[in-house]
Structure 1
C-alpha cells in the first residue's frame, strides 16, 4: 500500500492536496532548479518535499547554494505548530571569507527569510530556526578547494492557509540571497576580456 507521504496526489486530505498543488504551481527564477524529492516518513501523517539548487553562472557546474523544503501536514493539528501545515527549510551555501568573518552575517541571513516572507505576503506563525557558519580545511587526497566557508540555515514555520505559493517564492528568494544571486530581473555583468576594446 502506498503511503500518503510518497504519493501526495493520490488521496490525502483536501488541505494537503491544495497545499501541494500550490507549491507545484509557482514559476521560479531561472537560476533555481526545483524538483520533488523523497519526503521524510515519520514526522507527520502527510508530507511532501522539494529540493533546490542555485546555479548563478550558467557555464558553471557547482551550485552556489542548495536546499530542501518539506511540507508536513497533520489534520488534527499540532500544539507546537499552532496549525496543521508546517514548512521545514534547510539551506546551505558556500560563502566568501570576508562574509564568514562578518559578525552581522547570522542576523542578516535570518532577515533574508523574514523579509522574503513579508514581501511575498506569506501568512505564518511559530517561526524559529538557526544560522550556522562553518569553516572546513581539506587535507591529503580530498578533492576540492583547500579551505571553504559555509552558511547553513534551518528554519520552520506554520503556514496559516493552504496556498503556499508565497511561502515557496519567499524560500526561493532566501536561497538566491544565500547564493549571492542578483535581484530578480537583474543580470550579473560579465567580466570583460582584457583584450577587448
Structure 2
C-alpha cells in the first residue's frame, strides 16, 4: 500500500500529523483487503487524511464482502471531546447472512471485534465511542440485485495516544476482515458457505 504524505507542501503542516500519516504506510494489509488513500473530509479538523478499504474473500468476485473508510483528524490545539490531538474515525459496512441479522448478540459481538483488535494490536486509545446498526432491505419491482439483503454497519471513533498509528490501522484491517467473515490470518477458506461442496 502506498500512503503518501499530506499533499500540502506547506512547512506549517505539523510534524505530529506528518508522522501519523507516514506510520500508516508501514502496514501491510491482509491479501483479502485492499487499501488506498481517498479524499479526506476538509471541515472536521484543520488537518485530515483518509483511507478506503474493500474486502474480497473470493478473489474471483467483483463484489466486496465489506467496505470501509478510516479518517485521521488532527487538531494541534486539541479537542475537549477527543481527549487528545489525533482522532481516528471509522466507518464500515458488511453483508451478513439472514440468521446473523436476527441474532440479538450480533451488535455486542461486532463491537468486541473492534475493542479486541485494538487491544491485540497494542493500539493505545482514549474516548472510544460508536454505533452498530443492522439493516434488512427488500427490493421490489424493477430494482436490480438480490431481492433481500442484510447489512451490518459500524461507526466508531477514538483518540490515538501516539503518532505511530500502525497498530490502529492493523486493528482496523482485522475489524474489516472479521465483519466480512474472512478466516484468521494464515488460514485458507476451503469452501464458501454459499457454494456447494463436491
> Quick check: 1:8–1:17 contact (8 Å CA) kept in 2?
no
> Quick check: 1:72–1:87 contact (8 Å CA) kept in 2?
yes
1:62 paired to 2:63: yes
Partner of 2:41: 40
Partner of 2:146: 145
The alignment of Structure 1 onto Structure 2 pairs a total of residues equal to: 190
Is the alpha carbon distance of 1:193 and 1:118 closer, same or farther for their aligned partners in structure 2, counting shifts above 3 Å?
Answer: closer
1:186 paired to 2:187: yes
Structure 2 unaligned segments of length 5 or more: list them: none
Partner of 1:29: 30
Partner of 1:88: 89
1:7 paired to 2:20: no
Q: Which moved more, 1:182-191 or 1:138-147?
A: 182-191
CA RMSD of aligned residues (A): 1.5
Could you tell me how far 1:28 is from its partner in structure 2? 1.1
Partner of 2:136: 135
Could you tell me how far 1:10 is from its partner in structure 2? 5.5
SS at match of 1:22: helix
Q: Which whole-Å CA distance do the structure 1 matches of 2:49 and 2:81 have between them?
A: 20
Residues 108-136 of structure 1, C-alpha deviations (whole Å, 9 max, x = no match) = 00000000000000000000000000000
> Quick check: 1:96–1:149 contact (8 Å CA) kept in 2?
yes
Partner of 1:103: 104
Q: Which whole-Å CA distance do the structure 1 matches of 2:40 and 2:197 have between them?
A: 46
Q: Which moved more, 1:149-158 or 1:9-18?
A: 9-18
Q: Which moved more, 1:8-17 or 1:61-70?
A: 8-17
Which TM-score applies when normalising by structure 2? 0.92
Partner of 2:170: 169
> Quick check: 1:8–1:48 contact (8 Å CA) kept in 2?
no
SS at match of 1:184: coil
Q: Which whole-Å CA distance do the structure 2 matches of 1:65 and 1:47 have between them?
A: 23
Structure 1: which 4+ aligned runs deviate by more than 3 Å?
8-11, 190-194
